């Protein structure tokens, strides 16, 4: 697998990226959001935010020409009696059109008075606000803004509900347009990973794990992209006292483990790949390591089989772990949704430090048109090393029409350096 990476190509120029993201946003606002408000029985959703203290959801609601709340921005979504969506913005910036209708006239009254009149004229049965004790991305309204809206709409305060359910689905559910493009984003990340885990970057006895991290960050920046989190490169080494060595010079016989993702077109990736550094004259990784990798792939198959639409994250976790135990596989499972965020809201399938039921977040069901980073590890005795060795893997997958698919070419053997 030493040459199993492609030259990175096909990255769109900035203008085309913005056109693509705006097209996706317009489609999502017109098709997805009305269905979510109907699904969760919410009449009105109010999103308010101030510059320098932005609600995290706003990035996913703003067109690309809008980069901040500009003092104060208030978005109002309303599902009328005919199930038709109205989208208003209480801000003078014309860049909000045609995504939102601008209805505030600064010459007449302030934004808060405009909001009050809007609510009174439509008299909704429920008003969703962005507060949540479970998901940080759903908890974007500041304390002072919540207090102000509560006073402003005092007679409606008993109708306030958390917007959590809408936001969870808004962030985790992808439209068909996005699902068509997401695999190419995952493949782009994999191509960069393949470059990083090659002898063009790694020179045994010279290159450190930190050098590889620096190379990845510079490579991503040079391509006009950004990483979705700070990359990690570590080693599994024969005779080492620790599972994951960082800040070390890479040597022959090491497993190089890369945890890395990019953000492109507003979507994030998260993947883990493995390389083996051969000794001179060595053609492949030792059989024991290859066997351990095959065990990891078997556990990956198990997770893949158990991830079903409608099952909760906790159900998938327990069913997968039981099958692993039945087959004698020592495993850990900690998969999560991906989307606008690397660790997206939605159903969790275990956590690295909590190999058990995850309250609330693990109780959420897996839904159609959602994407996951299928993340896990196994541990297996390797005779050539005379020790138990962990194998860490992570692959991006997507539910497309209820069928789970790998979004990028699956790693089935070590990269060879």
Mean pLDDT check: name the lowest of 77-81, 260-264, 374-378: 77-81
Arithmetic mean of pLDDT, 212-219: 98
Please provide the average confidence, as pLDDT, over all residues in the chain. Answer: 96
* Confidence grade of residue 44 (pLDDT, cut at 50, 70, 90): very high
* Confidence grade of residue 401 (pLDDT, cut at 50, 70, 90): confident
Q: Could you give the CA distance from residue 186 to residue 172 in angstroms, rounded to a whole number?
A: 16
Q: Could you give the CA distance from residue 332 to residue 396 in angstroms, rounded to a whole number?
A: 17
Q: Choose between 186 and 82: higher pLDDT.
A: 186
Arithmetic mean of pLDDT, 215-219: 98
Q: Could you give the CA distance from residue 256 to residue 244 in angstroms, rounded to a whole number?
A: 10
Confidence check: pLDDT of 231 > 70: yes
> What are the pLDDT digits (tens) for 408-417?
999 999 999 9
Residues 6 or more apart whose Cβ sits within 8 Å of residue 200: none
Q: Could you give the CA distance from residue 193 to residue 271 in angstroms, rounded to a whole number?
A: 9
Residue 275 host element (H or E): strand 271-276
Name the CA radius of gyration of the chain, rounded: 24
Q: Could you give the CA distance from residue 118 to residue 265 in angstroms, rounded to a whole number?
A: 34
* Confidence grade of residue 82 (pLDDT, cut at 50, 70, 90): confident
* Confidence grade of residue 4 (pLDDT, cut at 50, 70, 90): very low
> What are the pLDDT digits (tens) for 107-140?
889 999 999 999 999 999 999 999 999 999 999 9
pLDDT for 10: 81
pLDDT for 8: 66
Confidence check: pLDDT of 3 > 50: no
Confidence check: pLDDT of 5 > 50: no
pLDDT for 2: 44
Q: Are 298 and 380 in contact (CB under 8 A)?
A: no
pLDDT for 9: 66
pLDDT for 245: 97
For 383, other C-beta atoms within 10 Å of its C-beta total 10
Helix (H, G, I), strand (E, B) or coil at 212: helix
Arithmetic mean of pLDDT, 319-345: 98
3-state DSSP helix/strand/coil percent for the chain, to nearest 5? 35, 25, 40
Find the DSSP H helices in 274-370: 287-306, 313-326
* Confidence grade of residue 7 (pLDDT, cut at 50, 70, 90): low
Pick the closest to residue 100 from 110, 113, 112, 90 (CA basis): 90
């Amino acid at each position: 697998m030493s040459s199993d990476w492609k030259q990175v190509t096909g990255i769109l120029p900035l203008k085309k990226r913005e056109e693509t993201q705006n097209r996706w946003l317009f489609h999502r606002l017109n098709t997805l959001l009305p269905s979510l408000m109907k699904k969760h029985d919410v009449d009105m959703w109010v999103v308010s935010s101030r510059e320098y203290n932005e609600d995290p959801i706003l990035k996913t609601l703003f067109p690309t020409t809008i980069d901040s709340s500009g003092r104060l921005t208030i978005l109002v979504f309303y599902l009328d009696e005919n199930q038709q969506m109205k989208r208003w913005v209480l801000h003078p910036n014309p860049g909000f059109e045609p995504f939102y209708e601008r209805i505030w006239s600064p010459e007449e009254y302030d934004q808060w008075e405009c909001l009050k009149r809007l609510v009174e004229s439509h008299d909704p049965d429920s008003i969703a606000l962005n507060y949540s004790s479970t998901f940080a991305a759903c908890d974007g309204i500041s304390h002072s803004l919540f207090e102000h809206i509560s006073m402003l709409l005092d007679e409606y305060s008993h109708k306030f509900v958390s917007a959590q359910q809408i936001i969870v689905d808004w962030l985790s559910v992808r439209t068909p347009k996005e699902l068509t493009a997401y695999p190419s984003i995952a493949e782009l990340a994999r191509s960069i990973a393949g470059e990083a885990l090659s002898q063009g970057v790694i020179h045994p006895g010279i290159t450190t794990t930190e050098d590889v991290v620096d190379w990845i960050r510079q490579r991503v920046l040079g391509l006009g992209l950004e990483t979705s989190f700070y990359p990690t490169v570590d080693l599994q080494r024969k005779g080492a006292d620790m599972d994951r060595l960082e800040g070390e010079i890479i040597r022959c016989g090491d497993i190089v483990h890369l945890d890395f993702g990019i953000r492109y077109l507003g979507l994030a990736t998260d993947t883990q790949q493995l390389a083996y550094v051969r000794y001179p004259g060595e053609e492949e990784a030792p059989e024991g390591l290859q066997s351990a990798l095959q065990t990891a792939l078997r556990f990956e198959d198990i997770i893949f089989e158990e991830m079903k639409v409608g099952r909760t994250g906790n159900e998938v976790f327990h069913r997968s772990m039981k099958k692993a135990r039945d087959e004698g596989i020592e495993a850990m499972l900690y998969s999560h949704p991906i989307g606008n965020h690397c660790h997206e809201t939605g159903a969790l399938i275990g956590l690295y430090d909590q190999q058990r039921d995850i309250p609330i977040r693990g109780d959420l069901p897996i839904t159609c048109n959602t994407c996951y980073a299928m993340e896990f590890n196994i541990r297996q005795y390797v005779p050539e090393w005379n020790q138990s060795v962990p194998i860490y893997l992570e692959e991006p997958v997507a539910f497309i029409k209820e069928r789970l698919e790998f979004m990028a070419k699956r790693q089935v053997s070590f990269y060879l350096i």
